[in-house]
Amino acid sequence: MALIVHKYGGTSMGSTDRIRNVAKRVAKWVRAGHQMVVVPSAMSGETNRLLGLAKELSPASTTPEVMRELDMIAATGEQVSVGLLAIALQAEGVPSVSYTGWQVPVSTDSSYTKARIESIDDKRVREDLAAGRVVVVAGFQGIDADNNITTLGRGGSDTSAVAIAAAMKADECLIYTDVDGVYTTDPRIVPEARRLHTISFEEMLEMASLGSKILQIRSVEFAGKYRVPLRVLSSFTPWDIDINEEAKSGTLISFEEDEKMEQAVVSGIAFNRDEAKVTLLGVPDKPGIAFQILGPVAEANIDIDVIIQNVSHDGKTDFSFTVHRNDYARTMELLQNTVGPATNAAKVMGDPKICKVSIVGIGMRSHVGVASKMFRALSEEGINIQMISTSEIKTSVVIDEKYMELAVRALHKAFDLDQEQAGA
């Protein structure tokens, strides 16, 4: 008998028929002798609908007071899901009980709309499991120290599931979703993209942070920190497929690099259209300038991604960085009104129509010439690179948004990702 956590995304929970299917699948795992905790998302479209209602009443809703209420509202989506799934399980003859985040409780900090989980008290859940019940826990939500309801950011149910699996030392956390695993890149852009049987935790972390929307990045961080065995698999296989086959399907996020079967140098191509670039021209090149620019940005709670500072000329330099596109207007305002004047910048420029394309692979550690191969492939397509950033296992370029698909296709081909790798 194992303790297993299943997570079902919004599409998998999208209608009562689908919820019934989820219940049948979970019931199959129960009959195989497992203890089950199930973490569903809100029914697809529901979180958008709820937040849309709030927006109708307060279009520019960013005050802390409004943010608190947004979490209050958004958390109800998952509350409906857990209740429905518990009923569906009971209808299958499986004893089941549902909990919201605060009932568990899942304790978080107070950053509304992007709260971080601080701890999970699993006592109540364990008692239910011991009593033979399937426990259905609402994803995406928690409660802060002052009993305010919080949510974990869009896509946060992944993180809820992994955090619960970590807290309970579950044997495995299975993320059921509308794709059947992690691909070398998005098959909607490159039809030849292949599903990876395994991907290392570090690669998955890069892929998630670089824009692959399969898993919320924080869920991968949790999985890494607590070494939670994690698998991404399809919720659209028939619920009654053989459980052993199901348990091996999808993509395993593995920790054992040596056992990594696919020995490609580059494992995947990630991309992200959600960024925007801002530039300060002609700032004095002196100690503290980067801090003077980025300090206020960080204080405004704006995440910074790629940063470039040019070589100086005549004591002046140019400074560019990227932010999430949602933060673009706010960042421009900050630079134009505050940071620009304070640093004596000659000019503030911005470009929201950029994207970031990245190659990812732990094989890059031990191979040279990988980045130059990337740059050659892009130059052969006539694509201009605006910014470059690297880590041990990835190289990212910022390019004009209109070349994104072309770049992804060219790189997928250049690194032979359409071919099954030797040893796979």
| Known binding positions for ATP | 7-10, 177-178, 183, 188
The CB-of-46 to ligand ASP minimum distance in angstroms stands at 7
Single residue of 14, 155, 156, 250 touching Mg ion by CB under 5 A: 155
- Phi and psi for 312 in degrees, rounded to 5? -85, 155
Q: Which residues are at the interface with ligand ASP (CB under 6 A)?
A: 10, 41-42, 47, 77, 139-140, 154-158
Count of residues for the chain?
Answer: 424
User: Which secondary structure element, helix H or strand E, spans residue 358, and what is its range?
Assistant: strand 354-360
| Prior bond of 105 cis (ω within 30°) | yes
The CB-of-156 to Mg ion minimum distance in angstroms stands at 9
The CB-of-130 to ligand ASP minimum distance in angstroms stands at 28
Closer Cβ to ligand ASP, 128 or 158, answer by number: 158
Closer Cβ to ligand ASP, 109 or 405, answer by number: 109
Q: Among ligand ASP, Mg ion, none, what does residue 211 contact (CB within 5–8 Å per kind)?
A: none
Q: Residue 154 has which token pair?
A: 């869009």
Closer Cβ to ligand ASP, 84 or 345, answer by number: 84
The CB-of-178 to ligand ASP minimum distance in angstroms stands at 11
Q: Among ligand ASP, Mg ion, none, what does residue 14 contact (CB within 5–8 Å per kind)?
A: none
Closer Cβ to Mg ion, 9 or 340, answer by number: 9
Distance of CA 56 to the CA centre of its chain: 27
Residue 139 lies near Mg ion (rule: CB under 5 A): no
- Phi and psi for 178 in degrees, rounded to 5? -90, 5
Q: Among ligand ASP, Mg ion, none, what does residue 42 contact (CB within 5–8 Å per kind)?
A: ligand ASP
| Residue range at the interface with Mg ion (CB under 5 A); choices 151-159, 230-238, 337-345, 398-406 | 151-159
Closer Cβ to ligand ASP, 126 or 154, answer by number: 154
Q: Which residues are annotated as a binding site for substrate?
A: 47, 78
Q: Give the span between the Cα atoms of 60 and 71, in whole angstroms.
A: 16
Closer Cβ to ligand ASP, 42 or 230, answer by number: 42
Contacts of 280 (CB under 8 A, 6+ apart): 293, 318, 319, 320, 335, 339, 340, 343, 345, 347, 348
SS3 42: coil
Closer Cβ to ligand ASP, 204 or 397, answer by number: 204
Q: Residue 360 has which token pair?
A: 């990812």
The CB-of-326 to ligand ASP minimum distance in angstroms stands at 14
Closer Cβ to Mg ion, 100 or 160, answer by number: 160
Q: Which residues are annotated as a binding site?
A: 7-10, 47, 78, 177-178, 183, 188
- Phi and psi for 119 in degrees, rounded to 5? -160, 160
Contacts of 249 (CB under 8 A, 6+ apart): 180, 181, 233, 234, 237
SS3 384: coil
The CB-of-47 to ligand ASP minimum distance in angstroms stands at 3
CB atoms within 10 A of CB 208: 23
The CB-of-157 to ligand ASP minimum distance in angstroms stands at 3
- Phi and psi for 408 in degrees, rounded to 5? -60, -45
| Residue range at the interface with Mg ion (CB under 5 A); choices 2-10, 102-110, 222-230, 261-269 | 2-10
Geometric angle at alpha carbon 223, from 219 and 229, rounded to 5°: 125
| Residue range at the interface with Mg ion (CB under 5 A); choices 32-40, 116-124, 149-157, 271-279 | 149-157
Q: Give the span between the Cα atoms of 150 and 73, in whole angstroms.
A: 10
Q: Among ligand ASP, Mg ion, none, what does residue 117 contact (CB within 5–8 Å per kind)?
A: none
The CB-of-159 to ligand ASP minimum distance in angstroms stands at 8
Number of shown-chain residues binding Mg ion (CB under 5 A)? 2
Q: Give the span between the Cα atoms of 384 and 174, in whole angstroms.
A: 40
Helix (H) and strand (E) counts in the chain: 13, 20
Residue type, 351: D
Interacting residues toward Mg ion by CB under 5 A: 9, 155
